[in-house]
Structure 1
Amino acid sequence: MTITYFGYGSLVNIDTIPANAEVTPGKLSGWLREWRVCGQGEDGQGRCALTVRQEDGAEIWGVMAREPRTQLADLERREQRYVKVEAVGVSFRCEALQQPGPEDLFLFQAAPEHLRWGCDQHPILQSYLDCVLAGFFRTWGEAGIDHFLDTTDGWHVPVLQDRARPHYPRKITLDPDLAELIDDKLRAHGIDYRKVKD
């Protein structure tokens, strides 16, 4: 028995999901990403994460991941600020074969109590954004980073520069060249950076 879900943010980065997950890149029609999930980490740091909303004519890249059903509880704990949206397979197209996803394909969308735009108290963590963009780069190269920036709403939300002392629990270490590329792309996109307070 397995579960199959669509990842559109940190779940795209295979370093953050179980090694036994089967991952297939693809596109989801009728949905758009946004920086609109707010909460607080175990360290007390407020943070803003990604969610999706339905949007006619929109399309986002992501991955279809299949895992053993025994791992569902761990996945749901990870996505504790979200609710499952079932049966999105009809909107998914596998990149390689242009086939729709399975009927039981689901995604995670912000739970109503956490659905609000990020702000000074709930910034985007640079360590989280690094993880997301590294996943997109691994799968689609530089075009993946560009696509993510262009198909995500909420870039008015400030980014907390926590790369040196990450608050994100699934932090990764970027290759220096990739870190420079990401920083250049974000600066060109007009990102509002905030320094970590000592």
Structure 2
Amino acid sequence: MTDLAQDQICYFGYGSLVNEETLPTGTTVIAGQLSGWKREWRGCSKGKEGNGRMSGVGVCALGVRREEGSVIRGAMVLDTKANLPALDKREWHYSRKSLAEGSFVPDCGRQMPADTFLYQVQDQYAHWGNEEHPILQSYADCVMAGFYRLWGQEGLEHFVETTDGWDRVPILKDREDPYYPRAIVLSNELAATIDDLLKSVNAQYLNR
């Protein structure tokens, strides 16, 4: 394995960063599996001023914790270093964490750079979501659409099964009038499939 060129970065997305529609033009997305990390609904924060409808709104985003033996699907993203400041701003309540070489295995068998990282929720925000910090349905839709694009129905099922917190963090129904700034439009079929999957894990919903 070789290091990245000076002008490139390589990071693992396990949530919204899996969805290519949320990434800058020119990025390369490589589907695969990461060992040693567990995905969870434990990242509470409030939207910053100037961030549209998200300003001051309490939400719960996805995070990950280290867990030996755990394997999660996601996407390794090859991007230009010039986009790193904007990426750090997007992931403002996360910190970059280096990944162990070989912990990510691409589906395509492509050789990966040695220098890779992911974003982990900072300790002060690493709390389970609640009614004051719910999961935005528009955010979950965006994430799950990304998994569906890469792996189809199997990807959706994997995401739901390997993410902790569905039974304890409520979902705010904002699909029709989204708070999430990178919200996407789902087909009726995909929306119904996602809703059925979340029913299977007894997801609870809020209406505001």
* TM norm. shorter chain > 0.5: yes
CA RMSD of aligned residues (A): 1.1
The structure richer in strand per residue is: 1
Indicate the SS of the match to 1:36.
Answer: coil
Q: What amino acid does structure 1 have at the position aligned with 2:96?
A: K
**Quick check: 1:96 aligned with 2:108?**
yes
Residue 140 of structure 1 is matched in structure 2 by 151
Structure 1 position 111, deviation (Å):
0.6
Structure 1 position 116, deviation (Å):
0.6
CA–CA separation in structure 2 for the residues paired with 1:83 and 1:103? 19
**Quick check: 1:14 aligned with 2:20?**
yes
CA–CA separation in structure 1 for the residues paired with 2:60 and 2:88? 18
**Quick check: 1:118 aligned with 2:129?**
yes
TM-score w.r.t. the length of structure 1 is 0.96
Structure 1 position 88, deviation (Å):
3.3
Structure 1 position 75, deviation (Å):
0.3
TM superposition outliers: structure 1 runs of 4+ over 4 Å:
none
Q: Deviations over 1:38-82 (max 9, x none)?
A: 001142211000011111111000011011100000000000010
Residue 107 of structure 1 is matched in structure 2 by 118
Contiguous gaps of at least 5 residues in structure 1: none
Residue 188 of structure 1 is matched in structure 2 by 200
Aligned residues: 195
The percent of aligned pairs where both chains have the same amino acid is 48
**Quick check: 1:168 aligned with 2:180?**
yes
Residue 51 of structure 2 is matched in structure 1 by none
> Paired residue for 1:153, among 164, 173, 182?
164
Contiguous gaps of at least 5 residues in structure 2: 1-6, 49-54
CA–CA separation in structure 2 for the residues paired with 1:66 and 1:97? 15
